[in-house]
């Protein structure tokens, strides 16, 4: 498979008019550590497909991230589904109630091999899920296609998600950064390590791992976790290793 280095990725981004400023550094240590803001102006493909998940109701809520992969379907991590109440946020700023759209989840699916209620803090295999929305995602939000092949160590990837900053404060801003796939573990998961501790952290769980192939964006994984405190090392469950579950689930959820 053709590998994409950072400069190639930046060239592709510029050619696609997706100007995310990968060379800049956030002075406020936003969620994707040292990442850059993502919105419809500077990164339309990512902004149209990266979503937030509000888990629970009332004052007892948590957040995750995800990727719109169908007009009613969101890819996320299985460990994000411990609440019976899930709302999906489409927008770029969780902090402003008027900045986006909230759509309730209708149902969700995760692999039978995943134990949702384990007491273990370790990252389980098959940590991937699909959430079905009660309504279609409206224009201009668009699904991101799944990458159906396996990435290779050394490939440049792009991370995005919502969540808390380095000081533990909830910013609610959609952030992104480029990173490098270091290795593939025995479970087929992607080990991704950023430069200068750039990477995802808690609240970005379930968020997308993007790849650019021949100038087109794809989602290749969902964030399962990483070390605490966050040091730019992240583990993503790959869409390739979970392709059988994803294909069967997408097919079953789109049959009405």
Sign of CA dihedral 63, 151, 145, 193: positive
Tell me if the bond preceding 142 is cis, omega within 30° of 0.
no
The predicted model gives 175-184 an average pLDDT of 92
Q: Which residues of 197-210 are buried (b: 16+ CB within 10 A; e: fewer)?
A: ebbbbbbbbbbbbb
Q: How far apart are CA 100 and CA 105, in angstroms?
A: 16
Domain borders along the chain are 6-42+144-238, 47-114+121-143+243-253
Residue 120: what pLDDT?
A: 72
**How would you classify the pairing of strands 73-76 and 62-68?**
antiparallel
CATH number (2.40.240.20, 2.40.30.110, 2.40.10.10, 2.60.40.420) of 6-42+144-238 reads: 2.40.10.10
Q: Which of 93, 88, 54 is nearest to 71 (CA)?
A: 88
Would you identify the CATH topology of the domain 47-114+121-143+243-253? Thrombin, subunit H (2.40.10)
Inter-residue contact 132 to 253 (CB < 8 Å): yes
pLDDT higher at 195 or 236: 236
> How do residues 44-64 score in pLDDT, each as one tens digit?
999 999 999 988 876 667 889
């Amino acid at each position: 498979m053709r590998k994409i280095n950072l400069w190639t990725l930046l060239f592709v981004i510029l050619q696609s008019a997706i100007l995310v400023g990968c060379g800049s550094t956030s002075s406020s240590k936003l969620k994707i550590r040292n990442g850059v803001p993502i919105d419809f102006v500077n990164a339309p493909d990512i902004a149209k497909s990266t979503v937030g998940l509000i888990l629970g109701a009332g004052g007892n809520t948590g957040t995750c991230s995800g990727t719109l992969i169908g007009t009613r379907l969101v890819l996320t991590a299985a460990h994000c589904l411990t609440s019976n109440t899930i709302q999906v946020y489409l927008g770029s700023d969780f902090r402003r109630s008027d900045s986006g759209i909230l759509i309730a989840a209708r149902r969700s699916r995760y692999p039978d091999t995943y134990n949702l209620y384990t007491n273990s803090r370790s990252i389980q295999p098959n940590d991937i899920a699909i959430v079905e929305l009660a309504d279609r995602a409206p224009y201009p939000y668009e699904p991101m296609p799944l990458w159906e092949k396996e990435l290779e160590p050394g490939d440049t990837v792009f991370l995005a998600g919502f969540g808390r900053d380095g000081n533990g404060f909830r910013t609610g801003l959609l952030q992104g950064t480029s990173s490098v796939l270091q290795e593939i573990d025995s479970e087929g998961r992607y080990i991704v390590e950023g430069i200068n501790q750039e990477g995802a952290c808690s609240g970005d769980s379930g968020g997308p791992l993007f790849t650019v192939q021949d100038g087109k964006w794809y989602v290749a994984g969902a964030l399962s976790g990483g070390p605490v405190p966050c040091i730019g090392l992240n583990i993503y469950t790959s869409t390739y290793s979970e392709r059988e579950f994803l294909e069967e689930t997408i097919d079953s959820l789109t049959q009405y």
